């Protein structure tokens, strides 16, 4: 169960602007610039569709307004003949999916902390859909590492006006400049690129998908990537794909929606609904608070203050033979790789903890896919947020009287028990509902405080209570998480490789732009291999401590999982 902004009217190859544009015009097309040309819709066309952001969506949107905290990315390395990855085919596939999943093509309008809205303006025609898709698509010649580095640490790619973006990259710098995006009134039936491809050569490409976390989660990203490759790698010609664009537009944009069809996918809170019983609502709030009180954790990485955030993502993978050995060992012990990864992190940290710091347990938080909690959605898009959270708490010592292997597998089973208890709790809906409310309130308060600081408004500190009648509150146990884990499971179950036989996916990396002193460990199997990555702000932590922990993780995997 665990899983977990700018417009430009002409695509560019990095460093190679279209020759038809002046220097002044191309300056507007660089990601991160604030002023870009936009397509102005005809007011006689389909009306805009909108809805307010829910609490969970706000908790991701508000902190990311300035620097893009939480902006997600998914990188996929693949081999393919050039004829498949030409501009026209990629743009058509992107256009189709933007119409199927309108939050990808929406913008955010903020009128107040309690009134933030997704606004979707459907394309006015199939040609308009292609033009809009082309404006959010870029061809580059960067390596995987360069793509990730620039996205995580460079100027923000996304914005209120751009909630998703697509990059296709190829190295070495041999990628041909795609044609200018056609105006709404003219679309070339065949891209010039198609006449220049070599069908017999499989070339290395990088696909880089960017999306705001407020519109979806990791499961949506991976399902989208599978559907994208399914369209791109199909046997249809480019003309047939553009006809599919026209058919998709006619079905979804060329007519007004029936009154019983929602304009956009629902928020987490709408999907969870409100319990009609007042007693059950009160009971849910009490249960939620009690569950929070039980979350005890006293382990944390030493932090340091640095105004400049710099996220790095050390990644390690294990070959198919090693991965099969790990899966076999986990199956024999009745656990999954995900449960084992909690225990791996626990052992790695416990081995570096001094005795005086071993009294308090170690807590880790993880994301949970709560789609199974929702009723059958009316809107057929899977691009919406559906993430809950739970904690895993394990002891922070290794008994000297017990074999470390036995301790490891015991704790892996304890992690499985806690994960299952969280996922199968009869209170799962109310807990996620209350968590969404809590996160929404916090995000509004913090956003208001950030805006006041930015405006130079002096914020008075809250007066201390002087009442002697109020009894002192009992001391609370610390509730600190060492790090977060995003355990995506077997992604080969999502990617239907047989549906795109001419495309071979071989590498996957995922993550998000992080806050200062942010840290998140990812674990998943893909292309038959286990991948583990640690995304963290290297300027926000003591580097030696993190390096030792990461080395311990790798050593524990080899010692305890690979048999």
Sequence-ordered alpha helix ranges (H) in 28-86 = 55-61
How much is the pLDDT for 470? 60
What span, in angstroms and rounded, lies between the C-alpha atoms of 521 and 182? 42
Q: Looking at residue 62, what is its pLDDT? A: 97
Tokens of 502: 């001419």
Per-residue pLDDT at 329 exceeds 50: yes
Convert the pLDDT of each residue in 404-454 to its tens digit: 999 999 999 999 999 999 999 999 999 999 999 999 999 999 999 999 988
pLDDT (0 to 100) of residue 2: 38
Cα 137 from Cα 449, distance rounded (Å): 35
Q: What is the mean pLDDT of residues 528-543?
A: 96
Mean pLDDT on 326-353: 97
* Lowest pLDDT segment from 4-8, 73-77, 228-232, 329-333: 4-8
pLDDT tens readout for residues 465-504:
555 556 666 667 889 999 999 999 999 999 999 999 999 9
pLDDT of residue 154 exceeding 50: yes
* Confidence check: pLDDT of 8 > 60: no
Write out the H or E segment, with its range, that includes residue 244: helix 238-252
Q: What is the pLDDT of residue 373?
A: 86
Q: What is the pLDDT of residue 133?
A: 98
pLDDT of the residue at 10: 28
| Arithmetic mean of pLDDT, 306-323 | 94
Whether residue 110 is predicted with pLDDT greater than 90 in this model: the reply is yes
d(CA 151, CA 392): 31
Compute the mean pLDDT over every residue in the chain, rounded to the nearest whole number.
85
Whether the per-residue pLDDT at 1 is higher than 60: the answer is no
Judged by DSSP in three states, 140 sits in strand
Which residues make beta-bridge pairs with 510? 74
Tracing tokens 């950030």 back to the chain, one arrives at: 450
How confident is residue 351, by pLDDT bands cut at 50, 70 and 90?
A: very high
Task: Give dist(CA 62, CA 444) in Å, integer.
Answer: 7
Q: Is 519 helix (H, G, I), strand (E, B) or coil?
A: strand
**pTM (2 d.p.):** 0.85
Residue 99, pLDDT > 60, answer: yes
% of residues, the chain, pLDDT over 90: 72
Tokens of 497: 């490789």
- Give the pLDDT of residue 40: 39
Answer for the pair 83, 199: CB distance below 8 angstroms, yes or no. Answer: yes
Q: Give all strands (DSSP E) within 103-261, no chain letters.
A: 107-112, 115-120, 137-140, 164-169, 202-211
Residue 196's pLDDT is 30
pLDDT at 357: 86
Burial group, residue 350, by CB count within 10 angstroms (0-12, 13-18, 19+): buried
- Would you place residue 463 in the very low, low, confident or very high pLDDT band (cuts 50, 70, 90)? low
Please, which residues bridge with residue 368 across strands? 2, 388
**pLDDT at residue 462 in the model:** 56
The Cβ-side half-sphere exposure at 455, using a 13 Å CA radius, reads: 9
Q: Which residue has the tokens 């994208």?
A: 228
Cα–Cα distance, 127 to 129 (Å, whole number): 5
């Amino acid at each position: 169960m665990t899983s977990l902004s700018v417009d430009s009217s002409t695509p560019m190859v990095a460093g190679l602007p279209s020759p038809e544009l002046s220097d002044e015009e191309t300056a507007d097309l660089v990601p991160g610039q604030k002023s870009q040309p936009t397509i102005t819709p005809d007011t006689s066309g389909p009306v805009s569709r909108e809805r307010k952001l829910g609490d969970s969506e706000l908790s991701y949107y508000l902190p990311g307004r300035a620097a893009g905290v939480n902006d997600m990315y998914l990188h996929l390395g693949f081999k393919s003949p050039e004829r498949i990855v030409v501009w026209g085919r990629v743009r058509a596939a992107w256009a189709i999916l933007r119409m199927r999943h309108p939050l990808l093509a929406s913008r955010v309008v903020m009128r107040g902390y309690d009134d933030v809205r997704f606004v979707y303006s459907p394309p006015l025609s199939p040609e308009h859909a292609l033009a809009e898709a082309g404006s959010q698509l870029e061809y580059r010649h960067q390596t995987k590492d360069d793509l990730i580095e620039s996205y995580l640490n460079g100027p923000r790619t996304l914005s209120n006006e751009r909630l998703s973006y697509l990059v296709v990259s190829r190295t070495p710098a041999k990628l041909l400049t795609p044609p200018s995006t056609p105006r709404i009134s003219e679309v070339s039936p065949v891209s010039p690129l198609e006449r220049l491809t070599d069908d017999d050569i499989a070339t290395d490409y990088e696909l880089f998908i960017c999306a705001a976390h407020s519109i979806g989660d990791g499961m949506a990203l991976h399902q989208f990537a599978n559907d994208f490759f399914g369209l791109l790698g199909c046997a249809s010609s480019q003309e047939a794909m553009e006809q599919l664009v026209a058919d998709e537009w006619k079905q979804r944009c060329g007519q007004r929606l029936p009154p019983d069809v929602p304009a956009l996918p629902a928020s987490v809170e709408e999907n969870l609904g409100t319990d009609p019983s007042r007693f059950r609502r009160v009971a849910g709030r009490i249960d939620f608070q009690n569950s929070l009180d039980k979350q005890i954790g006293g382990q944390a990485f030493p932090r340091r203050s640095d105004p400049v955030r710099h996220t790095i993502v050390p990644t390690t993978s294990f070959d198919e033979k090693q991965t099969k050995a790990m899966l076999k060992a986990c199956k024999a012990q009745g656990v999954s790789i995900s449960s084992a990864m909690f225990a791996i992190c626990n052992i790695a940290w416990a081995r570096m903890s001094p005795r005086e710091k071993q009294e308090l347990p170690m807590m880790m938080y993880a994301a949970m896919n709560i789609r199974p909690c929702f009723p059958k959605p009316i809107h057929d898009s899977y691009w919406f947020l559906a993430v809950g959270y739970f904690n895993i708490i394990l002891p922070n010592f290794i008994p000297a009287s017990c074999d470390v292997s036995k301790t490891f597998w015991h704790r892996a089973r304890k992690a499985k028990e806690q994960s299952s208890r969280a996922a199968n709790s009869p209170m799962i809906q109310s807990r996620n509902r209350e968590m969404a409310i809590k996160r929404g309130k916090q995000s509004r308060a913090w956003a208001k405080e950030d805006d006041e600081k930015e405006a130079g408004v002096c914020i008075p500190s809250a007066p201390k209570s002087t009442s002697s009648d109020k009894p002192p509150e009992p001391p609370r146990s610390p509730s600190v998480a060492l790090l977060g884990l995003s355990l995506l499971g077997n992604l080969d179950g999502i990617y239907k490789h047989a549906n795109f036989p001419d495309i071979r996916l071989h590498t996957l990396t995922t993550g998000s732009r992080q806050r200062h002193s942010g840290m998140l460990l990812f674990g998943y199997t893909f292309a038959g291999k286990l991948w583990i990555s640690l995304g963290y702000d290297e300027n926000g932590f003591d580097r030696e401590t993190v390096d030792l922990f990461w080395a311990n993780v790798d050593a524990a995997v080899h010692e305890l999982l690979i048999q």
